[in-house]
């Protein structure tokens, strides 16, 4: 089952380029990860569906409010580094997501899929 990664920003638009870069990196690595963005207003609608939530640096002030709810649901949250966000470094952000998800996953989740003949 694919993991769902939600990036949250003010309107859900500024994260769209980073979403594309992260999704491309996941596909290139053979990982089943669905990356999407949402506005801060609509984010809570997706809590039951996501594996992890990433906050854009411009909405980091939401951390305290969201952390309580997400912690009670067992959903990790990260704040995207400003440099990685500004340079649209999808590879590095994906690495951080994988490291966080690995904490709660069984062994083998992060290994790239092998092509079987």
DSSP conformational letter for 13? -
pLDDT, tens only, 44-66: 999 999 999 999 999 999 999 99
Report how far residue 28's alpha carbon sits from residue 114's, in angstroms, rounded to the nearest whole number.
12
**What is the model's pLDDT at position 13?**
66
Identified catalytic residue from 9, 18, 43, 59:
9
Q: Are 37 and 4 in contact (CB under 8 A)?
A: no
pLDDT, tens only, 75-89: 999 999 999 999 999
The verdict on residue 58 lying in a domain is yes
The parent domain of residue 94 ranges over 3-102
- CATH code, 91: 3.40.50.2300
| Known catalytic membership, residue 9 | yes
Domains: count for the chain = 1
Q: How high is the mean pLDDT of the chain? A: 87
The residues near 35 (Cβ < 8 Å, ≥ 6 apart) are 4, 5, 7, 19, 22, 23, 26
More confident site: 1 or 18? 18
The verdict on residue 114 lying in a domain is no
Report how far residue 81's alpha carbon sits from residue 22's, in angstroms, rounded to the nearest whole number.
14
């Amino acid at each position: 089952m694919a993991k769902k990664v939600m990036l949250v920003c003010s309107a859900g638009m500024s994260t769209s380029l980073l979403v594309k870069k992260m999704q491309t990196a996941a596909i290139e690595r053979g990982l089943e990860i669905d990356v999407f963005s949402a506005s801060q207003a609509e984010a809570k609608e997706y809590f039951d569906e996501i594996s992890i939530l990433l906050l854009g640096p411009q909405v980091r002030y939401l951390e305290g409010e969201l952390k309580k709810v997400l912690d009670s649901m067992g959903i990790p949250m990260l704040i995207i580094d400003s440099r990685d966000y500004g340079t649209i470094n999808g590879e590095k952000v994906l690495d951080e997501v994988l490291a966080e998800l690995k904490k709660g996953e069984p062994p083998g989740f992060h290994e790239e899929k092998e092509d079987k003949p």
